[in-house]
Amino acid sequence: MGKIAFVFPGQGSQAVGMGKSLAEEHAAIKELLHQADERLGYSLTDIMFNGPEEKLTLTSNAQPALLAHSMAVLKRFEEEGIVPDFTAGHSLGEYSALAAAGAITYENAVWAVHERGNLMEAAVPAGEGAMAAVLGMDRAELEAAVAEVAANGHVVAAANFNCPGQIVISGAKEGVEQASALLKEKGAKRVIPLNVSGPFHSPLMEPAAEKLRTVLEKANIQSSRVPVIANVDAQPVTEAEAIKENLVKQLYSPVLWEDSVQALLDAGVDTFVEIGSGTVLSGLIKKVNRRVRTIAVSDEESIVKAAAALKEETQ
């Protein structure tokens, strides 16, 4: 039997209604989700269950909503006795991965990502930053082209290495526009502007990163029970100080998701369980390695089905 990794989605996977059916079916999960409301001082669950979508999509709501939903699904899934050998998460999802690995309490994680969302929204005035997905472009070629634009004084950087042929760039509006044009010229199949509220994982987030350090000090991060693969270097981490440093850097550094998946494959993981909203990560993982098994769990039905399949194999 190979190893299991629990992976957690990032911003963009949120959907109105997330967590609602689980909360209705399980008193303990309803209670867990309401702890987020208490910690934040407003009804996050109301926005999760009922929307409106515009409100749920705000970074400062989307981040705690995704984390709370992932933790609710995890709580229910763990009741089935499935435990991971590793955890990992995409950007915001790294906080869910750390909470799942015992490095941060659920309430502190909800609070920290809400604060993180506020800091990210405040870092760059609306309309000044941008992000774009670049499809069908070699990684080294993309990095060279982006560096060329950046050298001309326009802030732009690679923000997410999601899977082969899918890389996101981020930075000042002008920088992203110039890089997009250059990348198309150099053979990118498509460049798609993303509907985001800021230039995440770019050097423009550095002022927010220093403020995030203060938040993380208060969030009482501990060493983790199982290794968590960090976004910034795709290496396993368990030690509290290193976890904190990684999270500060993560705000302005690229998310090395493709490398993280590869690191897990190299460590013997053959089953990835995506915990929470959507199936974005399952799709990216398949593009890194088609043969690996991915399972997405988000509600009672998918949890029961996944647990039954996984238990059958361990018997």
In the set 91, 180, 224, 277, the catalytic residue is: 91
Active site residue 201: yes
Q: How would DSSP label each residue in the chain?
A: --EEEEEE--TT---TTTTHHHHHH-HHHHHHHHHHHHHHTS-HHHHHHH--HHHHHSHHHHHHHHHHHHHHHHHHHHTTT---SEEEESTTHHHHHHHHTTSS-HHHHHHHHHHHHHHHHHHS-TTSEEEEEEES--HHHHHHHHHHHHHTT--EEEEEEEETTEEEEEEEHHHHHHHHHHHHHTT-SEEEE---SS-TTSGGGHHHHHHHHHHHHHTT----SS-EE-TTT--EE--HHHHHHHHHHHTTS-B-HHHHHHHHHHTTEEEEEEESS-SHHHHHHHHH-TTSEEEEE-SHHHHHHHHHHHHHHH-
The one catalytic residue in 69, 90, 114, 201 is 201
In 3D, which of 103, 142, 66, 51 has the Cα closest to residue 220? Answer: 103
Q: What sign results for the dihedral spanned by CA atoms 192, 92, 111, 124?
A: negative
Catalytic status, residue 224: no
Annotated active-site positions, please? 91, 201
